[in-house]
Every structure is written in structure tokens, then in C-alpha cells.
Chains A and B, each alone.
Chain A
Amino acid sequence: MELCLETGYTSLNHIGEELCGDHVESSVNGQYTTLVLADGLGSGVKASILSTLTSKILCTMVSNEIDINECVATIIKTLPVCKERGVAYSTFSVIHVNRQGHGYLFEFDNPEAIYYHHGKAMDFEREELDVCGNAVFKSELNLEDGDIVMVMSDGTVHAGIGMILNFGWPRQKIMEYLDHHLDDQMSARAAACVLASACNEIYEGQPSDDTTVAAVRIRQRLDVNVMVGPPVNKEQDQEHVERFLEGSGLKVVCGGTSSNIVARYLHKRLKPSLEYPDHAIPPIAYIDGIDLVTEGVITLRRLLELSDKYVSISDLTPKYYVKEDGASLLAEILFERSTHVHFFVGQNVNTAHTGLEIDTTMKLKLVERLAANLRLMGKEVTLLYD
């Protein structure tokens, strides 16, 4: 089974600041994924500049396999020195790992990374290195399917200081919290959001420090094929459906006409549900052999709204979906479960929809914007038009 890496993070800004003093940078280079979380000294613009520089430099250098000594030396020489404090300083955590789960983690002055393995939060074995006079900790990574590596800025362990928790939120307590609130099925994005949201609660919505949680997760590849709308020429219906059905992975059909075409092709009955888990979203339907059947453009519009929230790094709503309407079910499959998404888009104009807020141009735009958001989530997306 092919494994894939996914990354995600959530940031809370120091109260009153427009910029976050923490910065996360990630890149994919062949088999390797590199993620850097840096926390700049202070808060606001200065901190933001320090952490942005640090994370960009580290991410570029590490992803190109340059030795950590050289990377750190470069940062020390590059960072601007703060006039007030006379130092140039930004902490960092670097994860560099390939699709087989092998790689390493380097940490400098951030809270220790947490290893979520087999449903339990634990420590990494760390080795102390002296890099240009700084104590940098190195851990070997040998990740297995479902494992998550979580790195964070110190806003997490400082949560609640002087407010509801006298001494902040100790790492041990954070790990206990994760034991109870994460599960094996959660995406990296969802897991990071769980911890950041908890910190925000402890800060009572007013963080006194920039707080960022980033996660890298290794998981199995899952392809999802989505058919949206019938082809322009009716004669292409069969070919279009055949191509949609031949790929591996989950099959999703969006749209009334499309579902009728697929049901006819499969010689199965199309059974629409009468249940409205959400009044604004038309009911889903069932076809034997198809994993999810929904209405088209109204459902997609809601899905796009959900995707906008999902990709926002400051949005704290949970990143998993328990509602049973078509849009939420689609969101769970596409945002949380998929790694590769293939859209089969038919551009036929539904004359009944012309002039309504649901016409074909609208639908094509929705699919494009949705594809862009899915790419931001790290999914590989293909679009095939008929």
C-alpha cells in the first residue's frame, strides 16, 4: 500500500496583533516533505520577520539535503539583530521525512515535539548536538501508517499563565489531552487544530503569546473520483461514466442528472433519501456501487464554504465533519480522507437552471475554486472536462 505525507497547522495571534510571530513553512521535494515551525523573539512585525526568515531559509536548505550545521550557521549570519535586546533569535523545529516514514527532526528551543503513535502521545528519543555553540536536539524518525509528529511554539505550554493556569499548560498535560482528543483517522490539519483550539480555550480567547501547532502525518493513499455534471454531448455519456468508474478508490457523484446517468449505466436504482439533516442542503441519494451521491451545485457551494474555513490557518472550528448532509459528507471524504482527488466535470448546460443562481458557469467556477482549496490542503488534484 502506498503511503503519503500530509501537513497542516493552526496559528493563534497574540491578542491585538495582526501578524503572527510564529511562522510555518513546508515543501515537498520528491519523496521528502519538509516542515519548519519557527517562533521569532517578541511579537508583532519583528517576530514575524525573524520567524519568516528562519523558516524559509531552513525549509529551503533542509529540503535540499544541506547539513544542519551549515543551515544554522546561515541563519545566525542572516537574521537581523534586535536593537532593544541586542540579539537575533528565533527558535525552530524542523521535520524532514520521506514517504516511507524515514527522516529526522531537529529542534532548537521550541517545546519538545510530540509523537502520536498507535493512539498515544509520547516522546521522541533525542540526541543533543552542538551546532555553532547552540544546543540542537536531533531525533531519528521511523514513522508508521497513521503516526503524527506534532511541533509547536511555546504559546502552547504557556497557555493560561496568570489566568486560569498559574504555571501554564505543562507538556505532560498536553499529551494527556491529545490521548483523549485525537484519533487515528484525523488528518494532520485536524490534529493541529484540536490542540490549538484547546490552547485558545485556556487563553479564554485572548492569547498572551503567539501560539502555533503544526503536524506531519503519514497515511495511506486514498483516491477519490468525483463526477460533476453530464458531458456536453449526450453520446459521450457512456464514455464519461466509464472513465469515471474505471479508476481505483472512492466514487462520488454530484448532481441529479449525473446520478441518473450513472444509475442507468450500472443498471441500478437511484434511491434519493427523504432526510434533511440540514434544511438548506438537498438530500443525498443512494446507488449500489457508488460511495456517495449528492445533489449538484447547492451542495458544492456549501462544500466550497466549508473548504474556505478548512484552509484558513486561524479558523478554529473542528476539521472533521459529523453532520450527515451531502456537503458535510463530501467534506469529510475530500478534506479529511482523500489524498488524491480526480474531478470528472461535464459541462452540459442545464436549461432549467439558466438565469438561476445555480447555472452551469457557476458550477464550473465552484469546481475550480474547490480544486484550488484542495491543492492548498496538499491534495493532488486532477480535472478532466467533457
Chain B
Amino acid sequence: MIIKVCVGSSCHLKGSYDVVETFKSLLKKYNVEDKIELQASFCLGNCLQGVSVAVEDFGDAQVQESEQVKRTDQGLLLSYMNGQNTEKVFVDTILPLLK
């Protein structure tokens, strides 16, 4: 699985750095560094709903869509991410995709 955090101008101002650092520590905490690759991305085209995060390459698992979690052709697009809510989204939405 690949997690891409948008680090474009708009998302940067909204806190990409915190989201990146939180993901780095979560991969360690949940011991999934060998299963999930963390990447950065320049502008995911979702600036108004940043910080944006794309989740790709996880098979065809079912996902509950919401305002924050949207299905796309490539996988998932997560909106409104920040340093505080990243762990909740990670545990509720991302980790289940690994099973």
C-alpha cells in the first residue's frame, strides 16, 4: 500500500508537515513499515479540502465513504487531514485495508 501526502503550497500551509510526521510515527507504532510506503505528492488537485492524502495500491477492499474519505480511480482520497485526526483515520480507515 502507498500513502501519498500532498505537500503542495496550499496543503503545506494547512499542515502537511504535521501529517507527514504523524504518519511516519504511526507506521512505526503499528509496525507496518514493511507493508505501507509513505510518499509525498505535489498537489493532488484537492486544495480547498486539504490537507489531502491519497491511499493507493490496496486491492479491492470495501470502504465506507464519508465527507473525509472518498473513493477514486486510484484508490482513496482523504481530505481535511491534520496532525490531530491522522491517527483516527489511520486506525479506522487505512489499517483495515491491509487485512
Contact = CB atoms under 8 A, between A and B. Distances in A.
Contact of A274 (B9, B13, B38): B38
A295 interface: yes
A270 B48 contact: no
Contact of A257 (B16, B20, B40, B43): B43
Contact of A273 (B12, B40, B43): B40
A279 B17 contact: yes
Nearest to B50: A352
Contacts of A279: 17
A279 B40 CA distance: 14
Nearest to B23: A274
A327 to B, nearest CB: 13
Contacts of B68: none
Contact of B9 (A270, A272, A273, A353): A353
A297 B17 CA distance: 17
Interface residues of B, number: 19
A272 B40 contact: yes
B47 interface: yes
A298 B17 contact: no
B41 A272 contact: yes
A274 B40 CA distance: 5
- What is the size category of the interface that chain A forms with chain B? 20 to 34
A255 B8 CA distance: 8
A103 B7 CA distance: 51
A222 interface: no
A314 interface: no
A255 B24 CA distance: 25
B9 A297 contact: yes
B93 interface: no
A356 B8 contact: no
A259 interface: yes
A356 B8 CA distance: 13
A266 interface: no
Given A272-B40, A274-B20, A353-B47, A298 B7 contact: no
Interface in B4-38: 5, 7-10, 12-13, 16-17, 20, 24, 38
B12 A352 contact: no
Given A272-B41, A274-B40, A296 B7 contact: no
B47 A352 contact: yes
B17 A256 contact: no
B42 interface: yes
B43 A353 contact: no
Contacts of A283: 7, 40
Interface string A321-360: 0000000000000000000000000000010110011100
A353 B12 CA distance: 12
B85 interface: no
Interface string A282-324: 1101000000000111100000000000000000000000000
A272 B42 CA distance: 7
A256 B40 contact: no
A255 B12 CA distance: 12
Contacts of B5: 274
Contacts of B17: 276, 279
A256 B9 contact: yes
A180 to B, nearest CB: 38
A110 interface: no
B43 A298 contact: no
Given A260-B42, A285-B42, A295-B42, A272 B7 contact: yes
Interface of A: 255-257, 259-260, 270, 272-274, 276, 279, 282-283, 285, 295-298, 350, 352-353, 356-358
18 contacts: A255-B9, A256-B8, A257-B43, A259-B42, A272-B7, A272-B39, A272-B40, A274-B20, A282-B7, A295-B12, A297-B9, A298-B12, A350-B47, A352-B48, A353-B10, A353-B47, A357-B13, A358-B13
Given A255-B9, A352-B47, A352-B48, 11 more contacts: A256-B42, A260-B42, A272-B39, A272-B41, A276-B17, A283-B7, A285-B42, A295-B9, A296-B9, A298-B12, A358-B9
What 9 pairs across the A-B complex have the smallest Cβ distances? A352-B47, A256-B43, A272-B40, A256-B42, A256-B8, A282-B12, A274-B40, A282-B7, A358-B9
Interface of B: 5, 7-10, 12-13, 16-17, 20, 24, 38-43, 47-48
